[in-house]
Structure 1
Amino acid sequence: MTGVQGDRSGQVEQHRVLPVTDRLWTVPNLLSMIRLLLVPVFVWALLERQLGWAALVLVVAGASDFADGKIARRYGLTSRLGQVLDPIADRLYIAATVVGLAAVDVIGWWLVAVLFARETFIVLLYPVVRRYRLPIPEVTFIGKAATFNLLGGFPLLLLGQVDGWWTVVSLACGWALVWWGTVLYWITGLAHGWQVADMVRQRRRAGVVGG
């Protein structure tokens, strides 16, 4: 019985530790690139008041964001480029989305300020990360959930601007997802700050001085 438990424990541990490759052309990386290319398409649709198309682009972006992580973990396609490209694509998409939605009065500029304040907090950590040569923290499940909620809530807010039987339901569900995504977004930001502070303390205890 002990041997079986040991085998299962080893399998679980092996499943959790995913190899990181230097491959550039992987399906997850391609999905992240497509998400980046869709940013100007979304902006164009929004400025032209094609709210249905803009909402569809956001749905595709949210689906690709969910799919790239699943594929990377399922088929061992986690790459160093993906670890950098995926969060960049997420942040750029969220930035373009919130600014665009605020510009057409779908959301208030106060929400833009709340989300951008979180990004400013993360940016302020970069000099410390670079000084102590700290590793880039991996994208967490909570972080992906935050992005997924935001990219799921924004198209519903767009659909809520179109008159129909779905208007009230879309707005209610959209704002619920956006609020929950915003809370999770800040939780991941604060957790990132705590991780950086903890790594700095470990480096200092080890006698490593930032250069």
Structure 2
Amino acid sequence: MTTTPVEPERSDRVWTIPNLLSMLRLVGVPIFLWAILTKHDTLALVVLMLSGISDYLDGKIARKFNLISNLGALLDPIADRLYILSTLLGLAWREIIPWWLVGVLIAREVFLTLLLLYARTKGLREMPVHFVGKAATFNLLYAFPCLLLADGDSTLAQIARPIGWGFAWWGIVLYWVAGLMYAVQLRRYVRAATLHPTAT
């Protein structure tokens, strides 16, 4: 029997609403990075919040109206990672978060990249996104606006700071848990492929 993870069927369509939302998210990355580095915090917050909303909507629309596509499966995680990376670098550059936090999250990305490269040598093209990984991304994308709001001594900053760090810690833990779950999932797939080479 096969142990290859089953995913919804994807189409080759390009011009769908979910894909357009993902493209708009990608366009927003350089705008966001410029805004956060030049301390245009209001613009940075707006772009980041719109990114989070569009991230939720593109997945919801794709699943509800059967608009899941190969392009969308590529664009969505790329956009997520670019926003996470650009936000991390921007917040660390402005000394809002420590650089070790950047290192912890980038180390997870390196780990996952190596894992995916190994998976391809075993015939598995990609690992399906699971709930824990999406939850980790959700927490991080909500942590960053709060941490940006926390930059200062205002009442709003004092309220946003514990909320932002709460989301951040949950995001860090879940991000690594998701990576370890991928490793376990891949190990099971490789073991099953070895025991039943004609079933995978």
Q: TM-score, normalised by structure 1?
A: 0.86
CA shift, 1:142, in A, is 2.0
Contact 2:116 2:126 (C-alpha < 8 Å) held by counterparts: no
Task: Give the letter for the 1:109 counterpart.
Answer: W
SS of aligned partner of 2:155: coil
The residue number in structure 1 matching 2:32 is: 42
Aligned mates of 2:26, 2:161 — CA distance in 1: 26
1:112 aligns with 2:90: no
CA shift, 1:75, in A, is 0.9
SS of aligned partner of 2:11: coil
Give the unaligned 5+ runs of structure 2.
1-5
Give the unaligned 5+ runs of structure 1.
1-15
Contact 1:83 1:139 (C-alpha < 8 Å) held by counterparts: no
The residue number in structure 2 matching 1:138 is: 128
Contact 1:87 1:139 (C-alpha < 8 Å) held by counterparts: no
The residue number in structure 1 matching 2:20 is: 30
Q: 1:121 aligns with which of 107, 111, 119?
A: 111
Task: Give the letter for the 2:127 counterpart.
Answer: P
Contact 1:52 1:159 (C-alpha < 8 Å) held by counterparts: no
Please identify runs of 4+ aligned residues in structure 1 that moved more than 4 A: none
The residue number in structure 2 matching 1:175 is: 165
1:66 aligns with 2:73: no
Aligned mates of 1:62, 1:198 — CA distance in 2: 33
Q: 2:93 aligns with which of 100, 103, 118?
A: 103
The sequence identity of aligned pairs, in percent, is 49
SS of aligned partner of 1:52: helix
Task: Give the letter for the 2:55 counterpart.
Answer: D
Q: 1:191 aligns with which of 181, 194, 198?
A: 181
CA shift, 1:17, in A, is 7.0
SS of aligned partner of 2:13: coil
The residue number in structure 2 matching 1:3 is: none
The residue number in structure 2 matching 1:85 is: 75
Contact 1:99 1:112 (C-alpha < 8 Å) held by counterparts: yes
Contact 1:32 1:68 (C-alpha < 8 Å) held by counterparts: yes
SS of aligned partner of 1:166: helix
RMSD of the TM alignment (CA)? Answer: 1.7
The residue number in structure 1 matching 2:3 is: none
Task: Give the letter for the 2:46 counterpart.
Answer: L
The residue number in structure 1 matching 2:138 is: 148
